[in-house]
């Protein structure tokens, strides 16, 4: 018989290794919150753009920083790029620490709605308002039409982004590590194209480049409207998009892919904003193009 006073005491604290794992599990949530806060910062840049009387950043910013990020909207676009980095990190950290959870998935979707749904649409509308505030001609009939279409496109884009994320949460029963393709354009992909166009627009507004007599910023403003509508529809569609990390990063790639990588780097050396547009546009167009290929249609029907 074992006497009660001889029993071993019950441990009330976790072992040191378990305590370290519990602490590390906070990293995915911190990365997700970083995504959310960058989206909020981009929206704040939109408020500063509309309330500011000048086009550029305040004089307190150094000349080199002003050349790289000439306006508040450029800063907002950079913050969305940082959101993409945080969005890519949180899933990797969760799997690395083996702390994936439904809580993390829901928090990630809420952050994506702000960073890749609300923030890109607000950046576009702020670009319109800033342009008209500093213009001597005022809004005008064409500007009024552009504003109304932009407002409708922004509302549609935000709604489609929320629907896309809610559908993904319901349908993705398996883990993302086993996912090879997305059903519909991922919300970060759609938001990236819109933000890339905004960044290129701000570059051309601050440092105009003559090109065959075409008003580059005006063309880009219409392109932003089209991107909002097209990306919104693709997000709620059933067009398949490749999972970039699972298909192109984890797997071995042929040496010929280095040529494409060098071409991408060369475009980035010429213009970082143009690089963002090319990469984002290529990914958005990849879904419809691959779906329309005859080999892809035959594979899906078999």
pLDDT value for 21:
44
- Evaluate whether 162 touches 187 at the Cβ level (below 8 Å): no
The string of pLDDT tens digits covering residues 39-80 is 999 999 999 988 875 556 655 455 666 667 788 999 999 999
Query: How far is the CA of 171 from the CAs of 55, 164, 187, in angstroms?
Result: 44, 11, 15
Q: Which residue in 194, 169, 195, 193 sits closest to 182, CA to CA?
A: 169
What is the distance between the alpha carbons of residues 269 and 267, in angstroms, rounded to a whole number? 5
* Percent of the chain scoring above 70 in pLDDT: 69
What is the distance between the alpha carbons of residues 23 and 21, in angstroms, rounded to a whole number? 5
Backbone angles phi, psi at 243, to 5 degrees: -80, 105
Q: Which residue has the tokens 């994320």?
A: 165
- Evaluate whether 178 touches 185 at the Cβ level (below 8 Å): no
**Spans of the chain below 70 pLDDT:** 1-25, 53-67, 99, 133-139, 173-180, 209-214, 245-261, 264, 267-269, 294-302
The string of pLDDT tens digits covering residues 169-190 is 888 755 555 466 788 899 999 9
The two tokens of residue 62 are 């150094």
Query: Which residues, 6 or more positions from 217, have their beta carbon under 8 angstroms from its beta carbon?
Result: 131, 201, 204, 205
pLDDT value for 215:
76
Cα Rg for the chain, rounded, in angstroms?
23
């Amino acid at each position: 018989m074992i006497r009660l006073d001889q029993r071993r005491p019950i441990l009330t604290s976790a072992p040191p290794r378990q305590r370290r794992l519990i602490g590390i599990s906070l990293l995915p949530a911190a990365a997700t919150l970083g995504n959310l806060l960058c989206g909020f910062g981009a929206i704040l840049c939109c408020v500063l753009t509309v309330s500011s009387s000048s086009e550029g950043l305040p004089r307190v910013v150094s000349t080199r920083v002003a050349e790289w990020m000439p306006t508040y909207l450029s800063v907002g676009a950079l913050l969305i790029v940082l959101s993409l980095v945080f969005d890519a990190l949180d899933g990797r950290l969760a799997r690395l620490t083996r702390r994936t959870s439904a809580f993390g998935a829901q928090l990630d979707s809420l952050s994506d709605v702000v960073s890749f749904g609300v923030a890109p649409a607000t950046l576009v509308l702020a670009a319109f308002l800033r342009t008209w505030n500093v213009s001597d001609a005022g809004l005008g009939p064409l500007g009024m039409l552009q504003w109304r279409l932009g407002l409708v496109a922004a509302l549609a884009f935000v709604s489609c982004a929320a629907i896309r994320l809610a559908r993904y949460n319901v349908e993705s029963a398996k883990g993302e590590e086993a996912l090879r393709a997305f059903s519909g354009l991922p919300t970060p992909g759609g938001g990236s194209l819109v933000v890339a166009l905004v960044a290129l627009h701000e570059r051309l507004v601050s440092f105009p480049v003559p090109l065959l007599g075409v008003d580059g910023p005006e063309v880009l403003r219409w392109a932003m409207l089209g991107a909002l509508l097209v990306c919104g529809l693709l997000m709620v569609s059933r067009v398949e998009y490749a999972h970039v990390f699972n298909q192109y990063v984890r797997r071995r790639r042929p040496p010929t892919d280095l040529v494409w990588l060098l071409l991408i780097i060369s475009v980035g050396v010429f213009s970082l904003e143009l690089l963002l547009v090319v990469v984002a546009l290529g990914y958005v167009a990849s879904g419809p193009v691959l779906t329309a290929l005859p080999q892809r249609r035959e594979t899906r029907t078999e």
